[in-house]
Chains A and B, each alone.
Chain A
């Protein structure tokens, strides 16, 4: 018997089951197929403007900064302003996301770099898959459009989020994920990000910018 079989056999011995009982298998298959929601907090619920208000309040509680612009074409100016006001260099790395690519970056003086980060980029911009109002959380998916390294290796991470993509809760974000990747599917990496990186490991003093970004700036479009 190999270790896999030994572990499973010991689990079954302890539980007093064989493993092929139809009702148990049915119960597990049903739960996996239906993925029932449990208790979903009311906090994030509401219409689009209520969700926007909660998202902003919660993200700011987690020390993210927020700006709102009317259209995607307005985002580059806001990104440039944010970097300038924080005395950051005028360089910016991004992936191949079509929404970011279509923006008028040439109207700013930012030097734009493309692709994954090798750890030398101070600034990066990503487009979010969704926002979660309940906790002011961003959902970002991996891939060529928005490489995961940008979310962690930059000092200043800017995330552009469509107002329509601000959902009430985690369950709504998972529903959107299933639409995009199929039931039971997932991107290589899904990052749920709430505020900039932090640590309280030295005498419980909370400090921002542990290993990931020191600043998280969210630009909401729409």
Chain B
């Protein structure tokens, strides 16, 4: 079973998040990202041109995806690796479990991978009796807490250091109970020590991939901690799990994408480690894995090609859209209820798990447009959220009051004379009723608004009639 989505309960999730004072405090840390991204973009005069270039590379690749996948696959085989295709999450889990079992694996280390989250890999490994350890510090923390990531590049951004300390004391029982863990440095060095032993003991290392290079059959991971590297060089086997749109034509194309990825994600000019892995260890290599497997996941993506959501497949998972989203900043990632949060999640989730389950997410937008402004591959996220809203409405999945309300409004809006007359009359009536205070603290059908703030009373005439009075005519 894949991660159970609570996306359909989005409204309840949001309410809980907004009233969680601890979460609200932790979310304040996310704002650093926006400042750093702006600084990094400002330092590079070619940044906007690189965004155009990145977008063009992704569009070109998607239009030729079948051919680049075939070319990539050939090169992986040439270098001694194996490629496996998975149509859905279950097939991907089965492939990875079978590989682990065939190698007699008892323990697995994992680099950070959103696709592994998408297919619910950890549960499957644990259920098969294989010890799976997340090694990215943030992923390790949320694994101990039994949670999912709340951000695609900062998975534990919702957790305070006091909570990390509590979790470490619970999990690392063999360490002295009177040790000090008050400072982030102490927490980090404890995690480093505990995980170092896991790295050295693991039978199989599983990582994601930021890019799969067709030219050379190479998988690329981008990290700051170095955990992904220890995951993939120390065990006997390295398994890469990646979705099919990660394929990228050449090393030069990867360089274009890397330049916008790090700056958009963490505001670094370059992430500390960009590692290119090609096949298993060579005959004279003293280290590296003896086996190299790549699992390419579709899970609904091939059906997005050629349609109105194809642009979403350009996404390089930098997280800039969520860092800049006022809704994400207010509610955090868990409220979105599945793997991918924020604007990219609001568009991708209904594509992958269906509009019936994920259709509420595209409503979590103020349409301020900041996500599209900062997206390194210029995905028109607001437009795509509007597409989903239209689909939700067409399929009668929106709540009844919304559907009837819109129908009621449309009746008037499509009859301009009647619209003007009725708005004119109601504006005058509300002006008369509300003129004492100049505002309403309650109004029929507007409880959702007036529960939190007053509704200003109209000044007496509608905009249209005032405009007529001013200019003499409406064109």
Residues of A within 8 A of B (CB): 2-4, 6-8, 10-12, 14-17, 19, 24-25, 27-28, 31-32, 35-43, 58, 61-62, 95, 115-119, 135-137, 142-144, 147-149, 151-153, 169-171, 174, 177, 184-205, 207, 209-213
Known: A28-B67, A192-B270. 16 other contacts (CB 8 A): A3-B84, A6-B85, A11-B244, A15-B306, A31-B60, A39-B256, A41-B259, A42-B45, A151-B229, A169-B255, A174-B255, A190-B276, A201-B138, A203-B160, A204-B30, A212-B225
Cβ-based interface call for B203 (8 A): no
Cβ-based interface call for B209 (8 A): no
In the assembled complex, how far is the CB of residue B138 from the closest CB belonging to chain A, in whole angstroms? 4
Cβ-based interface call for B324 (8 A): no
Q: List 16 A-B contacts (CB under 8 A).
A: A11-B65, A14-B307, A35-B250, A38-B57, A62-B270, A135-B270, A147-B286, A174-B252, A191-B229, A194-B268, A197-B225, A199-B188, A207-B185, A210-B226, A212-B225, A212-B273
Cβ-based interface call for B24 (8 A): no
- A17 to chain B: which residues have CB within 8 Å? 66
Listed from nearest, the 7 A-B pairs whose CB atoms lie closest are A212-B226, A210-B225, A201-B138, A14-B305, A170-B255, A135-B270, A204-B29
- A31 to chain B: which residues have CB within 8 Å? 60, 249-250
Q: Are A205 and B184 in contact (CB-based, < 8 A)?
A: yes
Q: Are B225 and A28 in contact (CB-based, < 8 A)?
A: no
Residue of A nearest to B47 (CB): A41
Contact of B215 among A32, A61, A118 (CB under 8 A): A32
- B66 to chain A: which residues have CB within 8 Å? 8, 11-12, 15, 17, 19
Given contacts A32-B71, A147-B287, A198-B225, contact A203 B29 (CB under 8 A): yes
- B251 to chain A: which residues have CB within 8 Å? 35, 170, 174, 177
Q: Are A11 and B305 in contact (CB-based, < 8 A)?
A: yes
Cβ-based interface call for B119 (8 A): no
- A149 to chain B: which residues have CB within 8 Å? 233-234, 286-287
Residue of A nearest to B232 (CB): A189
Given contacts A8-B66, A42-B45, A195-B272, contact A3 B278 (CB under 8 A): no
- A12 to chain B: which residues have CB within 8 Å? 66
A188 vs B292: C-alpha distance when bound (angstroms): 10
Residue of A nearest to B277 (CB): A189
Cβ-based interface call for B269 (8 A): yes
Cβ-based interface call for B96 (8 A): no
Residue of B nearest to A213 (CB): B226
Q: Are B286 and A144 in contact (CB-based, < 8 A)?
A: yes
- A204 to chain B: which residues have CB within 8 Å? 29-30, 32, 154, 157
Q: Are B71 and A28 in contact (CB-based, < 8 A)?
A: yes
Residue of A nearest to B273 (CB): A193
A149 vs B296: C-alpha distance when bound (angstroms): 27
Q: Type the 1/0 row for B279-309, where 1 means its CB is closer than 8 Å to any CB of A.
A: 1111011111000000010100011111100
Q: Are B229 and A212 in contact (CB-based, < 8 A)?
A: yes
Contact of A201 among B68, B154, B233 (CB under 8 A): B154
In the assembled complex, how far is the CB of residue A159 from the closest CB belonging to chain B, in whole angstroms? 13
Residue of A nearest to B286 (CB): A116
A211 vs B258: C-alpha distance when bound (angstroms): 22
In the assembled complex, how far is the CB of residue A146 from the closest CB belonging to chain B, in whole angstroms? 10
Cβ-based interface call for B426 (8 A): no
Q: Are A189 and B275 in contact (CB-based, < 8 A)?
A: yes
Q: Are A3 and B86 in contact (CB-based, < 8 A)?
A: yes
**Interface of B, helix, strand, loop or mixed by DSSP:** mixed
Cβ-based interface call for B317 (8 A): no
Q: Are B161 and A203 in contact (CB-based, < 8 A)?
A: yes
- A11 to chain B: which residues have CB within 8 Å? 65-66, 69, 244, 302, 305
In the assembled complex, how far is the CB of residue B328 from the closest CB belonging to chain A, in whole angstroms? 15
Residue of A nearest to B192 (CB): A211
In the assembled complex, how far is the CB of residue A8 from the closest CB belonging to chain B, in whole angstroms? 5
A213 vs B266: C-alpha distance when bound (angstroms): 20
Residue of B nearest to A210 (CB): B225
Q: Are B227 and A210 in contact (CB-based, < 8 A)?
A: yes
- B32 to chain A: which residues have CB within 8 Å? 204
Given contacts A35-B251, A204-B154, contact A7 B302 (CB under 8 A): yes
Contact of A196 among B85, B249, B272 (CB under 8 A): B272
A170 vs B258: C-alpha distance when bound (angstroms): 10
Q: Are B273 and A191 in contact (CB-based, < 8 A)?
A: yes
Residue of A nearest to B275 (CB): A191
Cβ-based interface call for B216 (8 A): yes
Q: Are B137 and A189 in contact (CB-based, < 8 A)?
A: no
Q: Are A32 and B214 in contact (CB-based, < 8 A)?
A: yes
Given contacts A10-B302, A19-B66, contact A4 B85 (CB under 8 A): yes
Q: Are B224 and A7 in contact (CB-based, < 8 A)?
A: no
Q: Are B270 and A7 in contact (CB-based, < 8 A)?
A: no
Cβ-based interface call for B26 (8 A): yes
Cβ-based interface call for B174 (8 A): no
A171 vs B214: C-alpha distance when bound (angstroms): 17
In the assembled complex, how far is the CB of residue A100 from the closest CB belonging to chain B, in whole angstroms? 14
Cβ-based interface call for B136 (8 A): yes
- B196 to chain A: which residues have CB within 8 Å? 119, 211
Q: Are B249 and A32 in contact (CB-based, < 8 A)?
A: yes
Q: Are B284 and A7 in contact (CB-based, < 8 A)?
A: no
Residue of B nearest to A6 (CB): B87
Contact of A61 among B69, B269, B282 (CB under 8 A): B269
Residue of B nearest to A95 (CB): B286
Q: Type the 1/0 row for B319-363, where 1 means its CB is closer than 8 Å to any CB of A.
A: 000000000000000000000000000000000000000000000
Residue of B nearest to A43 (CB): B44
Given contacts A32-B214, A39-B46, contact A201 B136 (CB under 8 A): yes
Q: Are A142 and B285 in contact (CB-based, < 8 A)?
A: yes
A100 vs B63: C-alpha distance when bound (angstroms): 47
Contact of A24 among B26, B67, B214, B304 (CB under 8 A): B67
Q: Are A209 and B216 in contact (CB-based, < 8 A)?
A: no
In the assembled complex, how far is the CB of residue B159 from the closest CB belonging to chain A, in whole angstroms? 8
In the assembled complex, how far is the CB of residue A113 from the closest CB belonging to chain B, in whole angstroms? 13
Q: Are B306 and A14 in contact (CB-based, < 8 A)?
A: yes
Q: Are A198 and B154 in contact (CB-based, < 8 A)?
A: no
Cβ-based interface call for B75 (8 A): yes
